[in-house]
């Protein structure tokens, strides 16, 4: 790094290493360093292999190894920061800092463009000391890594911090430097066919770039590569907004479905391989990269809308993204009004709920593919789903009202408790809507840690039943205790506060949601929660599922 500048190209992935969980990459990085200095080894610490493209005599683009190099740079800055808090740096340490981090206004390492200012301000120059205004997930990871290193290093004896810094400064690595971008990309593809692979999206990006270098006419190659790079820069910007919402390789598959207008065309790697073997490969690269950029942009909008619209949120809660996301992407691409998209979300949410409840292995994609291929607008989609709710033909009957009622009117296994929460959440919004028009529905994510309360509590290991409930005989345990009518939606703090208490004590706390107040009204005469009331409530909820879901 001394005397040179190393940059991460903007078309590369931004910083993706995590801190929080045990075993997260940043934690492992520090743990390995600590283990190394305690081992007393005389062999230099080894940081692995790095692949660079030479941009000029003093500037290199890191093609492979940018996550490690970013972490190394963050760690070195944190270590120097901790040392400065204890004492002045020595002449050798100052020279080392200028070689590895910054000399005058020359920064030795620069991450992707949209995070570079944040890294310089927060990590290197320390001119930013708060977390406000951080726009990307990768930027938050940079800040978290720096904070983590500072915090952990501050706990150590200052001499040990120096040893760790020395271990990094004197560490060895292997490098390969290429002169052209085409060679760098070819090396990237070859190198990542072994060991831990990058994401499919990264591999496809490299394949696209390599094919452009290989097959483009000389006068077109620069402009086409510039376009693909620019689009991947936009893609990676959007990844930083949605990566906790949907996996990037899942987005790749969903884009493939929309691109080919088929729910069945979702094997991205196979589809790309086929397309790159055709004579029109260059047209495919440009058009599919445009489609990818569009998809990531639309999913960023979908995520924002799902945080504000209950019907869109509803469609996404069951996680069947391979079905619902292509419909949403297509709707946003067509510029449909949010009201239409929400209506479609409600219909898709109903079908996803029914599919999760019935648990059939019947393929929904086969039943929806034709309306996905031809639909313009949402009427065909909504019409098909509403038709499926009542159809009794063997090919379609899995999701109809009779099947759904049969599966819902039984004991609910713990694996289905999340689904029960979704049903009770929708039921709550149904009750709110009955009270007044123009109501403000509750968004699922706004419920603080939603819990599923057993109104009549379960008992274990001979635990004595509390008062206010029916007799815990075999019939009660078999046919009522684990039925939907005995479930209630509560926030985690509420559920934990009432536990397995007598019904009268629970009843006094049921005043937050409309469905809680329903329980109070149902027991007004006797303050007892028994089989009859559980059965009545179960039937009410089953009717709600059939008529409203």
Q: What is the DSSP string of 366-411?
A: HHHHHHHHH-SSSHHHHHHHHHHTT--STTTGGGSHHHHHHHHSS-
Reading the block at residue 141, the tokens are 């990871």
Q: What is the pLDDT of residue 189?
A: 67
Q: What is the mean pLDDT of the chain?
A: 90
Does 483 score more than 90 pLDDT?
Answer: yes
Q: Which of 237, 180, 259 is nearest to 212 (CA)?
A: 180
Tell me how far apart the alpha carbons of residues 160 and 153 are, in angstroms, rounded to a whole number. Answer: 9
Q: What is the pLDDT of residue 245?
A: 85
**Band of pLDDT at residue 110, cut at 50, 70 and 90:** very high
Q: What is the pLDDT of residue 193?
A: 47
Tell me how far apart the alpha carbons of residues 366 and 262 are, in angstroms, rounded to a whole number. Answer: 10
Reading the block at residue 70, the tokens are 């970013």
Q: What is the pLDDT of residue 179?
A: 86
Query: What is the tens place of the pLDDT at every residue in 10-61?
Result: 777 788 899 987 778 999 999 999 999 999 888 999 999 999 999 999 999 9
Does 317 score more than 90 pLDDT?
Answer: yes
Whether the Cβ atoms of residue 548 and residue 430 lie closer than 8 Å to each other: yes
Does 196 score more than 60 pLDDT?
Answer: no
Whether the Cβ atoms of residue 388 and residue 396 lie closer than 8 Å to each other: yes
Tell me how far apart the alpha carbons of residues 87 and 162 are, in angstroms, rounded to a whole number. Answer: 12
Query: What is the tens place of the pLDDT at every residue in 232-269?
Result: 888 888 887 787 788 888 999 999 999 999 999 988 99
Tell me how far apart the alpha carbons of residues 483 and 285 are, in angstroms, rounded to a whole number. Answer: 53
Segments making up each domain of the chain, as ranges: 5-180, 186-408, 415-548
Does 84 score more than 50 pLDDT?
Answer: yes
Beta-bridge mates of residue 216: none
**Secondary structure element (H or E) that encloses residue 62, with its range:** strand 59-64
Tell me how far apart the alpha carbons of residues 141 and 15 are, in angstroms, rounded to a whole number. Answer: 7
Q: Which of 7, 171, 173, 1 is nearest to 102 (CA)?
A: 1
Q: What is the pLDDT of residue 448?
A: 80
Q: What is the pLDDT of residue 313?
A: 96
Q: Please give the share of the chain, as a percent, with pLDDT higher than 90.
A: 67
Does 461 score more than 70 pLDDT?
Answer: no
Q: Which of 30, 36, 160, 147 is nearest to 86 (CA)?
A: 160
Q: Which residues contact 522 (CB under 8 A, 6 or more apart)?
A: 533, 536, 537
Strand duo 450-454 + 487-491: pairing: antiparallel
Q: What is the pLDDT of residue 462?
A: 61
Sequence length of the chain is: 549
Does 195 score more than 60 pLDDT?
Answer: no
End-to-end CA distance of the chain: 61
**Band of pLDDT at residue 318, cut at 50, 70 and 90:** confident
User: What's the gap between Cα 275 and its chain centre?
Assistant: 29
Q: Which of 283, 306, 270 is nearest to 224 (CA)?
A: 283
DSSP conformation class of 441:
P
SS3 assignment, position 325: helix
What's the predicted TM-score (pTM) here? 0.81
Q: Which of 151, 251, 126 is nearest to 201 (CA)?
A: 251
Distance of CA 457 to CAs 347, 477, 481, 511, Å? 34, 10, 8, 19
SS3 assignment, position 386: helix
> What DSSP assignment string belongs to 245-311?
TS-HHHHHHHHHHHHTT-TT---HHHHHHHHHTSTTHHHHHHHHHHHHHHHHHHHHHHHHHHTT-HH
Whether the Cβ atoms of residue 47 and residue 170 lie closer than 8 Å to each other: no
Strand duo 102-103 + 109-110: pairing: unpaired
Query: What is the tens place of the pLDDT at every residue in 128-147?
Result: 999 998 878 889 999 999 99
Query: What is the tens place of the pLDDT at every residue in 488-541?
Result: 998 877 877 787 789 999 999 998 889 999 999 999 999 999 999 999 999 999
Of 187 and 236, the one with more pLDDT: 236
Question: Per residue in 32-55, is it b (16+ CB within 10 Å) or e — as a string?
Answer: ebbebeeeeeeeebebeebbbbee
Q: Which of 347, 425, 331, 343 is nearest to 386 (CA)?
A: 347
SS3 assignment, position 50: strand
The predicted model gives 310-323 an average pLDDT of 93
The predicted model gives 427-442 an average pLDDT of 85
- Please tell me the least confidently modeled range out of 69-83, 237-251, 276-290, 325-339: 237-251
Tell me how far apart the alpha carbons of residues 125 and 102 are, in angstroms, rounded to a whole number. Answer: 9
**Band of pLDDT at residue 449, cut at 50, 70 and 90:** confident
Tell me how far apart the alpha carbons of residues 340 and 343 are, in angstroms, rounded to a whole number. Answer: 5
Q: What is the pLDDT of residue 210?
A: 86
Q: What is the pLDDT of residue 192?
A: 56
**Band of pLDDT at residue 298, cut at 50, 70 and 90:** very high
User: What's the gap between Cα 104 and its chain centre?
Assistant: 40
Reading the block at residue 527, the tokens are 């303050």
Tell me how far apart the alpha carbons of residues 445 and 306 are, in angstroms, rounded to a whole number. Answer: 10
Q: What is the pLDDT of residue 500?
A: 79
Reading the block at residue 280, the tokens are 């029109």
């Amino acid at each position: 790094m001394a005397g040179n500048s190393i940059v991460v190209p903007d078309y590369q992935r931004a910083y993706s290493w995590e801190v929080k969980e045990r075993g997260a990459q940043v934690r492992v990085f520090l743990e390995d360093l600590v283990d190394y200095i305690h081992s007393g080894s005389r062999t230099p610490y080894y940081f692995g292999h790095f692949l660079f493209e030479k941009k000029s005599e003093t500037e290199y683009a890191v093609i492979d190894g940018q996550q490690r190099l970013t972490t190394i740079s963050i760690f070195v800055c944190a270590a120097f920061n901790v040392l400065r808090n204890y004492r002045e740096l020595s002449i050798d340490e100052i020279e080392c800092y200028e070689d590895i981090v910054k000399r005058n206004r020359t920064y030795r390492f620069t991450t992707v463009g949209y995070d570079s200012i944040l890294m310089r301000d927060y990590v290197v120059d320390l001119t930013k000391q708060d977390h406000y205004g951080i726009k990307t997930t990768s930027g938050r990871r940079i800040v978290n890594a720096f904070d983590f290193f500072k915090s952990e290093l501050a706990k150590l004896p200052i001499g040990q911090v120096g040893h760790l810094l020395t271990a990094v400064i004197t560490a060895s690595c292997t490098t390969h430097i290429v002169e052209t971008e085409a060679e760098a990309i070819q090396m990237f593809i070859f190198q990542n066919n072994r060991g831990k692979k990058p994401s499919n999206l990264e591999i496809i990006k490299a394949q696209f770039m390599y094919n452009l270098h290989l097959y483009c006419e000389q006068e077109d190659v620069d402009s086409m590569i510039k376009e693909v790079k620019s689009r991947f820069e936009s893609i990676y910007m959007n990844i930083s907004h949605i990566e906790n919402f949907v996996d990037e390789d899942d987005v790749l598959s969903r884009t493939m479905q929309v691109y080919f207008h088929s729910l069945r065309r979702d094997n991205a790697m196979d589809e790309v391989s086929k397309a790159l073997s055709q004579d029109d490969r260059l047209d495919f690269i440009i058009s599919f990269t445009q489609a990818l950029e569009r998809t990531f942009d639309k999913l960023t909008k979908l995520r924002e809308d799902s945080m504000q619209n209950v019907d869109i949120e509803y469609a996404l809660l069951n996680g069947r993204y391979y079905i619902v996301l292509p419909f949403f992407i297509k709707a946003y691409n067509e510029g449909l009004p949010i009201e239409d998209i929400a209506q479609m979300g409600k219909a898709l949410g109903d079908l996803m709920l029914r599919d999760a409840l019935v648990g059939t292995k019947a393929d929904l994609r086969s039943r929806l593919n034709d309306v996905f291929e031809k639909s313009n607008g949402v009427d065909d989609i909504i019409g098909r789903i509403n038709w499926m709710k009542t159809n009794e033909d063997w090919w379609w009957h899995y999701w109809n009202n009779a099947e759904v009622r049969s599966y819902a009117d039984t004991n609910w296994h713990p694996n289905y408790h999340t689904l029960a929460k979704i049903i009770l959440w929708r039921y709550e919004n149904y009750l709110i809507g009955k009270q007044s028009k123009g109501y403000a529905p509750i968004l699922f994510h706004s419920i603080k840690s939603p819990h599923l309360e057993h109104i009549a509590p379960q008992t274990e290991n001979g635990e004595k039943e509390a008062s206010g409930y029916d007799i815990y005989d075999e019939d009660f345990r078999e046919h009522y205790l684990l039925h939907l009518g005995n479930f209630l939606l509560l926030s985690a703090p509420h559920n934990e506060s009432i536990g397995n208490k007598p019904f009268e004590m629970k009843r006094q706390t049921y005043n937050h949601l409309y469905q809680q107040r329903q329980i109070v009204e149902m027991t007004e005469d006797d303050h007892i929660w028994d089989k009859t009331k559980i059965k009545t409530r179960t039937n009410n909820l089953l009717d709600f599922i059939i008529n409203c879901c």
